[in-house]
Amino acid sequence: MSEVKINKDSTWQELTPGGTIYDAGNSMNFKTGDWRSSKPIFLSDKCKQCGLCFPVCPDDAIPVDKDGKRCDFNFDYCKGCGVCAKVCPFGAIEMKEV
């Protein structure tokens, strides 16, 4: 593996030909959270830990701890689709415009 580190200021000489990524399993490096136009707010006092929200998240952006309890959103990957807010029976997730 020959890792190439680039960022949005990289010059054409620093990029790889054709944008080929010399690495596998690299989707974690693609932070899609900045695509978000609305943001879920986790209201932990209303949450009953029923477990309905995290299985429906298309981006696996609701972390679950070792006791099976959900934690706050991972905003590196949450695209703000709002599916979790729809399935929550207790109003513990509110969508807010950003």
CB of 21 to another protein, least distance (A): 4
CB of 97 to another protein, least distance (A): 23
H/E run at residue 41? strand 38-42
- Please tell me the number of Cα atoms within 13 Å of 47 on its side-chain side: 17
Is 7 or 37 the residue whose CB approaches another protein more closely?
7
Q: Which of 5, 18, 65, 98 binds another protein (CB under 8 A)?
A: 18
Rounded Cα distance, 70 and 94, in Å? 16
Is 20 or 68 the residue whose CB approaches another protein more closely?
20
Rounded Cα distance, 61 and 41, in Å? 13
Rounded Cα distance, 59 and 77, in Å? 6
Contact call for residue 68 and another protein (CB under 8 A): no
Residue numbers at the binding site for another protein (CB under 8 A): 1-2, 6-8, 10-12, 15, 17-26, 30
